[in-house]
Amino acid sequence: MIDKDQVKNIAELARLKVKDEEVEKIAEDLSSILDYVAELNSLDVSSVEPTLHATSAKNVFRSDDEPDEQDHELAEKLLNLAPDNEDGYIKVKSILK
């Protein structure tokens, strides 16, 4: 069990302000956490294969240098929304003389 002095020391090291009335509750909570970690450490996981992620989700994104037909269609639709366009470019009024 973590005692009050240890809690105060940990709080000082972490530069946390802890009120005196909170020290006992924090000591209980930290002790509970350490007990749980000890319980987890006692489990036999030798038959469990290491994993990188908890899920089997994979990256579904494509690289940016591989445009597809849908990209071309979207670009064309957006270009057609512009008030004036030419040769695949949006024409804008000149702001320089």
Average confidence score pLDDT of the chain? 88
Asked, for residue 80, whether it belongs to a domain, the answer is no
pLDDT(27) > 90: yes
Asked, for residue 92, whether it belongs to a domain, the answer is no
Amino acid at 96: L
State residue 54's pLDDT score. Answer: 77
State residue 44's pLDDT score. Answer: 94
Mean pLDDT of 52-59: 77
Asked, for residue 34, whether it belongs to a domain, the answer is yes
Residues 40/11, Cβ–Cβ less than 8 Å: no
Domain boundaries, position 10: 4-41
Asked, for residue 65, whether it belongs to a domain, the answer is no
pLDDT tens, 71-89? 888 888 888 898 898 888 8
Higher pLDDT, 81 or 59: 81
User: pTM score, two decimals?
Assistant: 0.49
Asked, for residue 72, whether it belongs to a domain, the answer is no
Into how many domains does the chain fold? 1
Domain at 29, CATH number? 1.10.20
